[in-house]
Amino acid sequence: MIIESKGQIHDNLYAIGSSEFPGYLLKGKRPVLFDAGMTFMGPLYLVELENLLGDINSLAFHFLTHSHFDHAGASPFLKRSIPGLKIGASPAAAETFRKPNAIELIKNLSRSLEEKNSALIGGADVTFNGLEIDLVLSDGMEIELADGLVCRVIATPGHTRDSLSFYIPKMKAIITGEAIGAFDRNFTIHPEFTSSYQDYMASLEKLAALDIEIILMCHYFTLTGADARGYMQKAIMGAQAFKERIEHYLMNANGDRQAVVKKIFQEDYEATGAILQDSRPYLINLDAKVRVVAEVR
């Protein structure tokens, strides 16, 4: 089944915030929140966490799939609001969150939505001012969340080099960020190999070997049952086909990358109207994907 990422998903598993920018909360002895979308949503996440957990300070962990503004934007606000919270991310993400230019980029990308949603922010300070990582998470690590309930860290680079997925064997559930691509309105998978095609495919192969019944996607959707089981193979085939299409277009355009970006933008974004992402981040990512294929990364 394909359901909207909103409210209760499974026993102790919830999507909070909005389905566009969901944070995934797994309740238990040591509750964990996976990702926290945009800066402006910080206060909203906090209210929902309080409703679901009772005591906000019982949130033990906050794990991040990668260092993009729409996945870690509200994390500094949550850390300021919950002093004991332990934030976990990959070694590469921990580095990124300390870089002044990365902090500046996240601030810039967040600003217009902060202005648009000032009513949601109220007087709260949601500034992204860098993020100190308390738990550096590496591939294969297991974190105990309750008796018999662990979260396994799986390095899944390819969308970014700092991408992680989180697998909960007991629930056969996985949180992936964009490591497995994203759906459009028609449930077509758009691959997101923005840092490396080879790494992206290797990550998908790794995930395809897992026993998965629930996929908590980066934005909008959760897949369960047969839709979850069949997803990784579809994502592999979709990524391969998209790469071949880029190669073909590059050849026809004599290697002119901008012409290829323009053509795919017209065909996939403008003509279908099915893509859920804003055009600005879509174009930034498309440009990166074309570059990755052109440079055979």
Q: How far apart are CA 232 and CA 255, in angstroms?
A: 30
Q: What's phi and psi for 78, nearest 5 deg?
A: -65, -40
The encoded tokens of residue 6 equal 């909103």
Cβ at position 196, least distance to Zn ion in Å: 14
User: Cβ closer to Zn ion: 62 or 68?
Assistant: 68
User: Cβ closer to Zn ion: 9 or 218?
Assistant: 218
Measured at CB, which residue is nearest to Zn ion?
68
What sign does the dihedral 211-158-162-4 (CA atoms) show? negative
Cβ at position 68, least distance to Zn ion in Å: 4
Binding residues (CB under 5 A) for Zn ion: these are: 68, 178
User: Cβ closer to Zn ion: 68 or 190?
Assistant: 68
What sign does the dihedral 170-24-103-284 (CA atoms) show? positive
Q: How far apart are CA 1 and CA 167, in angstroms?
A: 19
User: Cβ closer to Zn ion: 114 or 178?
Assistant: 178
User: Cβ closer to Zn ion: 178 or 199?
Assistant: 178
Cβ proximity of 165 and 175 under 8 Å: yes
Put the strands of the sheet holding 7-10 in their side by side order: 7-10, 13-17, 22-26, 32-34, 61-63, 86-89, 135-136
